[in-house]
Structure 1
């Protein structure tokens, strides 16, 4: 198996007596798009800045292409970085901003002009070359920042929450554009975000971070459907959490709100009488019976929100509200608050949180 393109090995970072990154390890393959996902203060930007060279690790090593770059200055790493705040030079035109890194590197005027034209075409803004940053929208400014980072043909692209200052519709459009450009160029990319939808929609893999550690690293499908820790389960996606009491560990039977639920397989490490936290995604739950659903709970409609194509329903089960989404059907009226109902789900979709 080939060596990873980027290897972050046992990296730690302390500011004074405070350790903000704990034994962080990650291998990234060439051409891969990996997102660091987590809440503010979890260490994701600090790890990114250590890869870029703006922070020096307190321990550990960072390798790119098999070369140890841990102690190299940022300008010695051939890494492109896009910041949250654009960081464009206000007194330079778009073309001058994009070509800045090439001028610093001593490229010829002809080479700079050619590369700037290529970058403007790549981000679909060829007509903006002579404008200044203040004449551009936020989305256009971020496209220019991306083009500037890519112009020197870096080995690695780092994006530090580049979309967080933009409105929702522009964010969706630009994240898809960033992913498209990344695939076209085949450049290895690390993308930092606190937005789970953003990370799930564009990443090859996601490193979910909390407290300076990687709680779980995996493909979006794995992260969402098979969270490894309670934090990942709660942070990524919407989750219903129910408390249950083990009634038969060998059979995997748990009592929830005075009703027995059979889980998939035996409950290793649990004993009769133990309390477990059980989690269910809203989309895994149906109102009424459904083929393949082998578990059910009786309850009462507590709340109904009509959202157009989707109807969001909350069902009260033993004092706890369980959320689920059902598609709008013009021939079927939505459920009525107060009605008795039954929800069903597959035992295989129940997560036991540890």
Structure 2
């Protein structure tokens, strides 16, 4: 059995089912991110693991032990909240030591563990400060140290970086990942920020309307989205409408242009409508790139975004965006110009609803 196993987990509030038949097996030491929009059920799953919510149905095991009969304080779980939740009347030392004191740990053991945790988050020089004397990033580090001080078997992080500015978020998420790897602790991280999830996770669970639309590595989630929702939610994506011409040869038509896909169309019939996905970075106007497929259309607009120029072109009523690297020696296309976008057929994916 996996270290953390959720089997057919369900949760309803009255007539509203917020989590539906959720299944997930997490190995010891894995860093898992739950990614999805507000209201998709990701925090509810996290709270059921912690014991703050009781599942309406299903089973939940940690290290082979059924967690359903256990209260939150009996599960040996560390949790870091979005709003830090530090005790304002306690110093940094006392906040980190709180869980160990409640558990009745000897003072010498508590002192040693708090010193170790403050060294881990590089705030040992601020042990005597109070939360109001610290920045948001420092407070969140203290909250992390407090959660880790009791040596939990699972660490839960509920959007811990959402209240911080962009630069601090990037540095702190890298610190969290480094600490998690150093300690080898099984971690579940909830976020609505796709960049966070993609950058630090071993696997990502993309949630939609109480269900897991897809579970996979960041590479799999980004490059081979399983559903239209995953494709549109993770990264910037072109959704292109096409018609199946010949399923046997995987031939489709976009506007008046025929293309042969690498993906099988065996389950479709001629005349069926299909949705295709293409990432903006997959195509180029350069004739020198490696490509086996091309689409010709008219430029709608070109927007300067610093390192890249995002250009939009119309192909048979589909507006397709693609990115060009900003180079002083290359003049971007202008609206109305006819251009040919080249790419690999394998990058054009059929998206099922």
TM-score band by shorter chain is: over 0.9
Tell me the secondary structure at the aligned position of residue 99 of structure 1.
helix
Structure 2 distance, partners of 1:211, 1:343, is 36
Residue of structure 2 aligned with 1:196, choices 194, 197, 201: 194
Q: Does 1:75 align with 2:51?
A: no
Check conservation: 1:246, 1:275, Cα contact below 8 A.
yes
Q: 1:271-316 CA distances to partner (integer Å, 9 max, x unpaired)?
A: 1111111110111111143543111111122222222222221122
For the residues of structure 1 that align with 2:301 and 2:286, how far apart are their CA atoms?
16
1:20-169 alignment to 2 at 5 Å? 20-169=18-167
Asked if the contact 1:33–1:191 (Cα under 8 Å) also holds between the matched residues in 2, the reply is yes
Kept after mapping to 2: 8 A contact 1:290/1:344? no
Equivalence for 2:252: 254
Query: Do the aligned partners of residues 265 and 163 (structure 1) sit closer, same or farther apart at CA in structure 2, a change above 3 Å counting?
Result: closer
1:177-232 Cα shifts (integer Å, max 9, x gaps): 10000000000000001111110100000111111111111111011111111111
- Deviation string, structure 1 residues 114-155 (Cα, Å, up to 9, x no partner): 111111110011111111111111111111100000001111
Q: Which residue pairs with 1:268 in the alignment?
A: 266
In the alignment, which of 169, 172, 175 is matched to residue 174 of structure 1? 172
Tell me: CA distance 1:131–1:276, structure 2 relative to 1, closer, same or farther (3 Å).
Answer: same
Aligned residues: 352
- Is residue 353 of structure 1 aligned with residue 351 of structure 2? yes
SS in 2 for 1:271: coil
1:287 aligns with 2:275: no
Secondary structure, counterpart of 1:287 in structure 2:
coil
Per the TM alignment, residue 334 of structure 1 is displaced from its structure 2 partner at its CA by: 2.5
1:333 paired residue number? 331
Q: Given that residues 35 and 194 in structure 2 are in contact (C-alpha distance below 8 angstroms), is that contact kept between their aligned partners in structure 1?
A: yes
Preserved CA contact (<8 Å) 1:56 1:71: no
- Native 8 Å contact 1:288 1:341 kept in 2: no
The answer (yes or no) to whether the contact 1:251–1:265 under 8 Å persists in 2 is no
* SS of residue matched to 2:248: coil
Runs (5+) with no aligned partner, structure 1: none
1:320 correspondence with 2:326: no
Distance 1:61 1:266, change over 3 A: closer
Per the TM alignment, residue 259 of structure 1 is displaced from its structure 2 partner at its CA by 1.1
More displaced, 110-119 or 97-106? Answer: 110-119
Q: Mean alpha-carbon deviation: is it higher for 30-39 or for 267-276? A: 267-276
Deviation at 1:266, TM superposition (A): 4.2
SS of the equivalent of 1:315 reads: strand
Q: TM-score, normalised by structure 1?
A: 0.97
Q: Please give the alpha-carbon distance, in whole angstroms, between the structure 2 residues aligned to 1:333 and 1:285.
A: 17
Counterpart of 1:5? 3
Answer yes or no: is the 8 Å Cα contact 2:244–2:274 preserved in 1.
yes
Q: Distance in 2 between matches of 1:195 and 1:126?
A: 30
Distance 1:16 1:265 in 2: 43
Structure 1 position 69, deviation (Å): 1.0
